[in-house]
Amino acid sequence: MVRKIIDLTMPLKTGSPVFPAYPIPIVHTWVNVKEHGFYANLLLLVEHTGTHVDSPAHFIADGKTIDELPLEKFICRGVVVDASMKGEKEEIKREDVENALKNLGVSVGPGWIVLFYTGYDELAGRPEWFNHPGLGEEASKYLVQLGVSAVGIDAPSIDQPPFPAHKTLLPNDIVVYENLTNLKMLLGVRGFKFIGLPLKIVKGSASPVRAIAIVEE
């Protein structure tokens, strides 16, 4: 059995693109080996910078914060729904999810993450980046019904305003990964292992993660 690890994480650096509401991240050299004898950077960034996971508190007053969620939420079996044929800002519907799962022959539930491949990670930093397809309300309700642990997308947000997916998934403690990358490499792979552990930010609304998929062939 061959074990392959796929990095699903965007690079984090000064100027990494972020949602317009947020400041651009800064990775600033605080000390360096030549002058100080050791090297360290200062990070100035919003929790939702680069590849990250949203906690319920991001949209829900009194919702669970990132430090309050069980680690089981962040270690899942995964499957990718191909949404790359969707147009600009087009809704990803319940039937899209149902058909994709049927074609893959998987039934998902607790302990699973459903990821959406749009290809919009390739447009990061361009104005068109924000025209990504978004998960709709019916599809989100369906995922709640299935009882999945997490959902993710390779775009700056899981949905378009007025944010039906955030408002449906987060109240049900389904965590949301955004700005994933390399999902194309997982198309057709059933039940790979997904790991995306957040920092233990006390009262955090989200956290940057190093997201990976482990594929066994």
Angle at 66 between CA 122 and CA 202, to 5 degrees: 125
CB of 47 to Zn ion, least distance (A): 7
Q: Which of 48, 73, 86, 166 touches Zn ion by CB under 5 A? A: 48
CB of 20 to Zn ion, least distance (A): 13
* CB nearer to Zn ion: pick between 59 and 194: 59
- Is position 154 an interface residue for Zn ion (rule: CB under 5 A)? no
- Is position 159 an interface residue for Zn ion (rule: CB under 5 A)? no
Ramachandran quadrant class, 37 (left: phi over 0; alpha: psi -120 to 50; beta: rest): left
- Is position 54 an interface residue for Zn ion (rule: CB under 5 A)? yes
* CB nearer to Zn ion: pick between 2 and 21: 21
* CA max distance for the chain: 60
Q: Which stretch binds Zn ion (CB under 5 A): 72-80, 99-107, 131-139, 199-207?
A: 199-207
* CB nearer to Zn ion: pick between 96 and 178: 178
Residue 192 to residues 28, 112, 144, 170, 203, Cα–Cα distance (Å): 36, 10, 21, 24, 30
The alpha carbons of the chain give a radius of gyration, in whole angstroms, of 17
